[in-house]
Amino acid sequence: MIRRWSFLVAALLPTYVFATFVNPSILEACPGYSASNVKVRHDGLSADLTLAGSPCNVFGNDVKKLSLEVTYETSDRLHVKITDPSSTRYEVPESILPRPSSSPSTSSKSSAIQFSYNSSPFSFTVSRSSDNEVLFSTTGHALIFEPQYLRVKTSLPANANIYGLGEHTNTFRLPTDNTTLTLWSRDAYGVPTGSNLYGNHPVYFEHRTSGTHGVFLLNSNGMDVKLTGGNGNSSDPNGGLGLEYNVIGGVLDFYFLAGSESDPTAVARQYAEVVGVPAEVPYWSFGLHQCRFGYQNFVDVANVITRYAAAQIPLETMWTDIDYMFQRRIFTVDPDYFPLSRMREIVDYLHAHEQRFVLMTDPAVAYLPGDTYAPYNNGKMLDVWLKAPNGSESLGVVWPGVTVFPDWFHPNAQQYWTSEFASFYSPVTGLDIDGAWIDMNEPSNFCNLPCDDPYQQAIQMNIPPPRTNPPPDPNTPIFVNSSEQALGRRDDDDDLLNPPYAINNAAGALSSKTAFTNIKHFNNLSEYDTHNLYGTLMSSATQHAMLSRRPTKKTLVITRSTFAGAGAHVGKWLGDNFSQWDHYRASIAGVLGFAGVYQVPMVGADICGYAEDTTENLCARWAMLGGFYPFMRNHNSDTSISQEFYTWPSVAQAARNALDIRYRLLDYIYTAFHQAHTDGTPVLQPLWFKYPKDPSTFPIDLQFFFGDSVLVSPVTDQDATSVSIYLPHDTFYDFLTLAPIQGTGGTETLQNVNFTTIPVYIKGGAVLPLRVQSSMTTTELRKQDFEFVVAPDALSGQASGRLYIDDGETLSPPSSATTQVKMAFSGGTLDVTGSFGFETGVSVKRVRFLGVGEKPAEGQVKVDGKSVGGKSVTWDAETKVLDVNIGIKFERAFSVQIRAQ
């Protein structure tokens, strides 16, 4: 969120520091290392690596001796670590990312992947055990290991399918024609393509028709990952395509994931074993969220809530941006524009109507020594602020003016953050929020280098800005006639501000627009090493603060900056996008990256775009696409026109239509999230996850699967009413009509797709648990009956599904308080079995069988072995849908048979 002041900030930008370029032939000519003292174990090996010739010293002195440790941790995971035994180099602390445990019984003989090496010059190869296919190989590429520069390169097959290495706005399948992916957190207004953005996930999945595998480099230092030599334009002296890591610190700590030869989702589950499974979120969090930077006062906020209800658009959660703060200071309200008593009235109203409330909280705290501002004074007393090298508090410029930043490594940081949350967000005396929104946590800093006078820069930027409108009458009525609806340290001679290798940071120098990288944290770690962890550290602290407020309840925390493993604590929105069609399209690849690869599944983009003015048609299309983001929020900036869904009739209808589908599917997607929390199975999937042998699916990122079985194919061209979609060779069913459609493994053009419609299909082979109808809130939705939609696959006539139900909010309900159901259809009979510990209070109204060629004869349809007929059984000859009304209380197993066996 930025950015009324972007014009002024741009005028003050420092001179850019461009990425370092060295002719690849120079790097490849480096001597590399030789392996010796190799000790082989049943579960791996260790070796010494010694510089094999005259040092290159490209960006510093080559380390002369290294240690190699190879461990087969599980049958699917290989750990390869290269370190400098002569010094204690920085590694990602285990407190931030706990290391996965190894299975003591694993050996190289039982592993699905194999490690092999050449002694001199040292190189290594990871290959698949079943067929010896090479998955990763540094052969022919020199290993370089210097104090502030590490280089490893692997060869790739031609036309490689690489996914991940974010955060970025490239296509989901990465372009391999000399692409540089930079990992260094920054405030990336406009989410420009081809630059580093807010988060850092140094993991990639590579897919081939022979299988899918993954590679994770556990390193939080800044880096450039280069895909070189695509399309025949090779800069590699050895020829061919390569993937090259250029890292400015730390160690080489690789996890190789075997994946699977048949199921691409297996590699996602294996990655979750390393970085952690995603946190579960409350049922209500899948409802519609509304926010804006620019609501002028409490009356504006109340009116938005009222207008959504009047438009009959289900609004689950109202959000408020920094507008509510006094002079943009966190943990305050403006007494004239957002008085506490009136804001508490809004929160009470929302809660009385089964709706929720979320507020923005930034990490930057106004620097006000000698003032009565408690959030600064409390942090000062606990000594939690980041310190400059001279020991003074490190100052920046953010929304409230001159600021300080919490040092999340400080042992008092959690106490400070939890206490501030408990006080300001108190249900009794403060604002009783239901979830938290954290922003600007790269951390973002408006101060231009050298930032030696932040006070003057704040004055130049007019920060904090004065209010431009008079405050409302504090007694203004609201809701009138409303609806009732392991730690290391760096060598002291390292250059922590301007390292010899300059990564391709779009903001310029490493410290530009963020915290100074020469800051030492409380535990003596430098910001240079830990910068990319700042957002995730804040995320963890915020989740803990929220759980402290409501210890037994699942919570929702949405962040901007993430690192590997962040999904175990928080969800994520994709940042400050624009109201443009290309940003609408790019959002699909963005959510696929986080939900499909990075294990951060609660993800979405700002619907209709954050900055600039949306159009009615774009907002209508985006409202429907946003209905299939896991995190669905409309949010825009203070300099843009209003874009709440009720603003235009077509957008209001599009939102109602999308939300009707979404809410009926809500238990289905809640089940998918529970599965993700259990084992890491992705909640969104690209088409190639389902059709791994079909090369036509590999580049597709304008269609995706919502959950396991719902194919979403939005219209993606500007103002178009037609769309060309790819339907794999499989059976699908139109979600609205339930009529069967046979995919042929080719492209089909859909015509006359109006601006309130989005093409959605059910994949054959699924049993979907749906609510019979939508509702205005998720609380009311849970009172609606279920229906099961049986969509058989054409080949076997079978289908299956699952359903998980709990109370939607208890943090860790015992299995005895949950309902976990399996649905299996085979041979004309649907069997619904499982445990029924949670009292749903509703019934299964009907079962809908799709693709039924003719109406069964009288007596053939049976429920729990007893024949039913008459009005209980209906068949539509056009859509081939057979409905069986059963009206069974959803508290036990049952079966429905539609033909004699």
Q: Which residues contact 240 (CB under 8 A, 6 or more apart)?
A: 155, 156, 158, 229, 234
- pLDDT tens per residue across span 310-356: 999 999 999 999 999 999 999 999 999 999 999 999 999 999 999 99
Q: Give 28-50 as a DSSP string.
A: HTS--EEEEEEEEETTEEEEEEE
Percent with pLDDT over 90 in the chain? 92
H or E element at residue 746: strand 746-750
Question: Residue 73: is its pLDDT beyond 80?
Answer: yes
Q: Which residue has the higher pLDDT, 869 or 886?
A: 886
Q: Do 501 and 20 contact (CB within 8 A), yes or no?
A: yes
Active site residue 62: no
The three-state secondary structure class of 317 is strand
Q: Percent helix, strand, coil in the chain (nearest 5)?
A: 20, 30, 50
What is the number of alpha carbons within 13 Å of residue 282 lying toward its C-beta? 24
Question: Residue 819: is its pLDDT beyond 50?
Answer: yes
d(CA 283, CA 667): 8
d(CA 282, CA 352): 18
Q: Do 639 and 722 contact (CB within 8 A), yes or no?
A: no
Radius of gyration of the chain (CA): 28
- pLDDT tens per residue across span 10-37: 333 333 345 677 788 889 899 999 999 9
- Residue 213 CB neighbours (<10 A): 28
Q: Which residues contact 171 (CB under 8 A, 6 or more apart)?
A: 589, 699, 701
User: What tokens appear for 318 in the block?
Assistant: 């109202």
User: What tokens appear for 178 in the block?
Assistant: 């000399």
Amino acid letter at 439?
Answer: D
User: How confident is the model at residue 235, as a pLDDT?
Assistant: 45
User: How confident is the model at residue 368, as a pLDDT?
Assistant: 97
Active site residue 442: yes
- pLDDT tens per residue across span 654-675: 999 999 999 999 999 999 999 9
- Residues forming beta bridges with residue 771, ordered by sequence position: 786
- Residues forming beta bridges with residue 873, ordered by sequence position: 884
Q: Give 76-114 as a DSSP string.
A: TEEEEEEE-TTS------TTTSPPPPPPTT--GGG-SEE
Dihedral angle, C-alpha 693, 699, 704, 710, nearest 10 °: -20
Q: Do 638 and 669 contact (CB within 8 A), yes or no?
A: no
d(CA 829, CA 825): 5
User: How confident is the model at residue 234, as a pLDDT?
Assistant: 42
User: What tokens appear for 647 in the block?
Assistant: 């603003």
Please identify which of the residues 442, 667, 701, 806 carries the catalytic annotation: 442
d(CA 534, CA 887): 53
Please identify which of the residues 439, 529, 701, 785 carries the catalytic annotation: 439
Predicted confidence band of residue 492 (pLDDT cuts 50, 70, 90): low
Q: Domains in the chain, please, with CATH? A: 26-258 (2.60.40.1760), 363-414+444-466+501-555 (3.20.20.80), 669-897 (2.60.40.1180)
User: What tokens appear for 363 in the block?
Assistant: 């990490």
Q: Give 190-240 as a DSSP string.
A: T--TTS--S-BEEEEEEEETTEEEEEEE---S-EEEEEE-GGG----TT-S
Q: Which residues contact 830 (CB under 8 A, 6 or more apart)?
A: 767, 788, 790, 823, 824, 847, 849, 895, 896, 897, 898
Q: Looking at 120-134, 229-243, 393-407, 642-656, which range is the least confident one?
A: 229-243
User: How confident is the model at residue 80, as a pLDDT?
Assistant: 98
H or E element at residue 855: none
User: What tokens appear for 736 in the block?
Assistant: 């609205």
Look at residues 171, 196, 190 and name the one whose alpha carbon lies nearest to residue 561.
196
d(CA 648, CA 656): 12
Q: Alpha carbon 605 to chain centroid distance?
A: 10
Active site residue 576: yes
User: How confident is the model at residue 485, as a pLDDT?
Assistant: 42
- Residues forming beta bridges with residue 849, ordered by sequence position: 790, 882
Longest dimension (CA), the chain: 89
User: How confident is the model at residue 803, as a pLDDT?
Assistant: 98
Please identify which of the residues 73, 576, 667, 730 carries the catalytic annotation: 576
Q: Do 393 and 419 contact (CB within 8 A), yes or no?
A: no
d(CA 545, CA 548): 5
d(CA 517, CA 190): 24
Please report, for the chain, how many H helices and E strands are present, in that order: 16, 47
Q: Do 371 and 401 contact (CB within 8 A), yes or no?
A: no
Predicted confidence band of residue 357 (pLDDT cuts 50, 70, 90): very high
Q: Do 284 and 139 contact (CB within 8 A), yes or no?
A: no
What is the residue-averaged pLDDT of the chain?
94
User: What tokens appear for 330 in the block?
Assistant: 């966190």
d(CA 435, CA 359): 8
